Structure formats: structure tokens, C-alpha cells
Amino acid sequence: MHDGSGRIAVQNLSKRFGSIAAVQNLSFTVEPGSVTGFLGPNGAGKTTTLRMLLGLVTPSAGIATINGRPHDQLGNPARVVGSVLENEGFHPRRTARNHLLVYAAAIGVPDRRADEVLGLVGLSPAADRRAGEFSLGMRQRLALATALLGDPQVLVLDEPANGLDPEGIAWLRKFLRSFAQQGRTVLVSSHLLAEVEQTIDQVVIISAGMTRYFGTIDELRKRQQPRVFVRVSDAAKLATALQEAGLTQLESMPDGHLAVAGATVEQVGDLALTTGVAVYGMHEDKADLEKMYFGLTAGQFTAQHGPPPPPRQQYYQQQQQYYQQPPQGWGGQR
């Protein structure tokens, strides 16, 4: 029926809604024993991808499988994959326990499982309260409890941190980590890197329906390069000299600084001296992961929906290339 591996595989997956290319030729795999972040700005195509994985939307092209099978061929899917998607509805007058009992019956698990999952998500004290009275954070926990009813091997969560307070986020982080440590698979989407950065091992970053990065979060961190910001008497002259010296990752900042990636202050200072430009100021800035994420996903709307971008200076284009260069071993397209 299915291979029991716990592996999620997305292969050349695309979805069009009329003229909107919501997902374009996405490919990535999620291995068991890890937490994989699925990141991208709002409208990037995350929910659509997860819905295709869960058999709720039919792909225009490509295939998404869990345990080597599309969702509709999993047999008893609730035993294989549990999911929490956006806008999960609850009967407002039904208590948390009763809600879970209904679902437990539907998927054929014993009633005691309802209390077990309430315990797992820390909702036992609220078992007899009506879901309609729950805070957003409590509803997220109840949705997670529902997903856990079948004791699934794979968890797929769409923006689960939305509506959680910092304590709830910390709790969720711990929960997902321990779930993965049992050799299970976790795929969790977010539009905010900071929200999931400490939880995830692997990351798939998408923008405008396309893969921008697929790999470990450590690899992504390693790609960060410190940048030297320098303000000089003649930026164009220094830029030419830097490029001739092999320092081609340059960006002209709006405040007049020239940003140089992969260089030291000594290199830039020495080069300014030999080029004959005066240095008015210089500092080093360690790019953080958040900036990297922003660089990878920026411009999704100008790229697809807006007017063409204005002509850019050559060194600015090179900077863009630096951000969009796929890492080695990247199974993407373009």
C-alpha cells in the first residue's frame, strides 16, 4: 500500500488557478526524523502545496507523495499523516473532548485517545470547555490534538505558530522536536523565518510559487557572508577596482555606501588607497539569516504581478544573482 518510510516527496509540482501560477515546478523531499520548515512570504504558494500533498487540491502537474503514495492511495490516511491547515473549523458549542470523540470515531481509534491527545497538547484542563470559547492559541492546540488522533507518522502543519503567544511557540517548538526525534516526519510552514528558525533542521524556501532554497538551515547560515560598507569620494571608480580584484558582489546602497560581500575592511581600505579614492567611512556588517531570507524571497510581486523593475546598475544585478544562486545539490529549476 505505502512504503512506511515517513518520507514526503514533492516532484515538479505545479498548480494554476486560472491565470495565477500559485505553485510552479516545486521539488523537495522531507525525511523522517527531522523538522522541515516550509517558508515563503504570504501568497508564495505554501498552503496550495500542502493542500496538494494532502489530496485537497488536484495538481496541474507533478506529484506529491507521502510514503511513496499520493494521499488518496494511503489506505487509512489518518494513521499516516496528521495535518493542521489554515482556518480549521470547530463546532463552537461542542467541547474539546466531544470534538475529538467525533473525529476519533470517524477514523476508527478508541475513545481514550481523545484524552491522550488533549494531554499531549496541554489542553486537559480545558477538555470540557466549548471550542467556541477558546482563544486562537487554544484552537491551534485543539487542531493539533485532532491531527494527532491517529498517532500519525507524519505531521503537516500550516502556519501553526499564528496566534500563539511566545510561551505557546516555545511549547510547540519543543513538541515538534520531540515528535521528530521519535523518527517521525514534520513539515511546518511559516511566513516568518524567526518563528521557526530554532525548530527546523531543513528548510524549503519558496517565493512566487518557485523554490528559492532547499537544504539544511546550517548550509543557509554558511552562505551568509559579512559585508563591508564603505563611503568613498568616487564609488564607481572603487566599484570597478573591486570588480577587477575579483570582488564582484557589490551593492550600491541608497545612503551612498557601497556594500562589498566577501571582503575584509583591510582589503577594501587598501584597494581604495591604491585606486586613489578617499574613504569617508567604513564598517563591517554580519548579514543575518533574516536578511538572507528576505533577499531570497524579495520581489515576488514585482517579478510576477507588477511592472518590470527599473534598470539597475550592474553591481546591483550582481548582488541579486548572489542571493538567487541555487546552492549546490539544489534540485530546483530555472
Decide if residue 65 touches Mg ion (CB under 5 A): no
Evaluate whether 66 touches 1 at the Cβ level (below 8 Å). Answer: no
In the complex, which residue's CB is closest to Mg ion? 47
Decide if residue 127 touches ligand ADP (CB under 6 A): no
Decide if residue 40 touches ligand ADP (CB under 6 A): yes
Evaluate whether 238 touches 277 at the Cβ level (below 8 Å). Answer: yes
Q: 17 is in the binding site of which of Mg ion, ligand ADP, none (Cβ under 5 to 8 A by kind)?
A: ligand ADP
Decide if residue 45 touches ligand ADP (CB under 6 A): yes
Evaluate whether 140 touches 67 at the Cβ level (below 8 Å). Answer: no
Decide if residue 42 touches ligand ADP (CB under 6 A): yes
**Among 39-47, 90-98, 123-131, 135-143, the segment contacting ligand ADP (CB under 6 A):** 39-47
**Among 36-44, 167-175, 278-286, 311-319, the segment contacting ligand ADP (CB under 6 A):** 36-44
Q: Report d(CA 300, CA 311) in Å as an integer.
A: 17
Length of the chain in residues, anyone? 334
The order of strands in the sheet holding 258-261 is: 250-252, 258-261, 226-232, 279-286
Decide if residue 172 touches ligand ADP (CB under 6 A): no
**Among 8, 9, 13, 22, which residue interacts with ligand ADP (rule: CB under 6 A)?**
22
Q: Which is nearer to ligand ADP, 20 or 101 (CB)?
A: 20
Q: 280 is in the binding site of which of ligand ADP, Mg ion, none (Cβ under 5 to 8 A by kind)?
A: none
Query: Which region, left, alpha or beta, applies to residue 247 given φ > 0 means left and ψ of -120 to 50 means alpha?
Result: beta
Q: Which is nearer to ligand ADP, 188 or 271 (CB)?
A: 188
Decide if residue 48 touches ligand ADP (CB under 6 A): yes
What pairs with residue 228 in β-bridges?
260, 284
Report, in Å, the least distance between residue 53 CB and ligand ADP. 12
Decide if residue 19 touches ligand ADP (CB under 6 A): no
* Neighbouring C-alpha atoms within 13 Å toward the C-beta of 314: 6
Decide if residue 47 touches ligand ADP (CB under 6 A): yes
Report, in Å, the least distance between residue 17 CB and ligand ADP. 3
**Among 14, 34, 36, 47, which residue interacts with Mg ion (rule: CB under 5 A)?**
47
Evaluate whether 284 touches 228 at the Cβ level (below 8 Å). Answer: yes
The order of strands in the sheet holding 210-216 is: 81-84, 154-158, 185-190, 35-39, 202-207, 210-216
Decide if residue 146 touches Mg ion (CB under 5 A): no
Of 126, 78, 120, the C-alpha closest to 99 is 126
* Alpha helices by DSSP H, 108-165: 112-120, 136-148
Decide if residue 43 touches ligand ADP (CB under 6 A): yes
User: By the criterion CB under 6 A, which residues form the site for ligand ADP?
Assistant: 17, 20, 22, 40, 42-48
